[in-house]
Amino acid sequence: MVAKFNGLMVVVAEIVLMTLPVAAQESPRPTGPDQALVGKLVQLGRDEVAMAQMAETRAERAPVKSFAATIARDHRAADQRLLAYADRKHMNLAEVTNPGSALPHGALAMAPIADSGRGEFDYNFASRMVADHQAAIDASAAAERLARDPELRAMIDRDMKMMTEHLVAAQELLAGIPVPTPRVVPAPGEPPGVSRTRTGADEPPPAALAR
């Protein structure tokens, strides 16, 4: 979870760097920092939708499935609001929907949760939602400070309130799920029943013992 948090902070760094080339301009352009902010926020939201959709299918507990449905619904709505805003502001929608990033997205972002074993998924998903939403709130706060358009700042503020509600719900959900027993992973090159410390190399052959 620390890696995911640090990764989302890369989003903030990317946003800051994207604002530098246009910081000295007197008036914002549609392809300037606000477009970069919208693109990053769309990308983060879509990752949450994909994660929630997986949970709707794989979760074992009804409260987890219900929470996942709420996440997917709310983030889809936020996505549509951001895209409608981008269209009104004549932003490049192709760049908004595919902004590029140093972070893993899609299947790569979901891989650690998708690999959860039986009895692990609910806990891992809830734990991921806590970490993701806390980091997304921090990234959104940075985006709100950097946004030039008051309308965009208001949209980000609205979505931060939504994510704060999600964070609280995820924390409550996680508190009610038992921590799964860690899986035992065999050491490399150690088949079941074979010891790496007792190889027999230091034992005399049977013929020597018979003398």
**pTM given for the model:** 0.71
| Token pair belonging to 10 | 């890369």
Task: Say if CB 100 and CB 14 are below 8 A apart.
Answer: no
Tell me, what's the pLDDT at 111?
82
DSSP string, 89-119: TT--HHHHH----SS--THHHHHHHHT--TT
Listed residue (60, 84, 85) closest to 150, CA to CA: 85
* End-to-end CA separation in angstroms for the chain: 62
pLDDT values of the chain reduced to their tens digit, one per residue, 211 residues? 444 444 445 555 555 544 444 444 444 444 578 999 999 999 999 999 999 999 999 999 999 999 999 999 999 999 999 999 999 999 999 999 986 654 555 667 778 888 888 889 999 999 999 999 999 999 999 999 999 999 999 999 999 999 999 999 999 999 999 998 877 666 666 666 665 555 555 556 666 555 5
Listed residue (52, 22, 59) closest to 166, CA to CA: 52
> Alpha-carbon distance 44 to 75, whole Å?
9
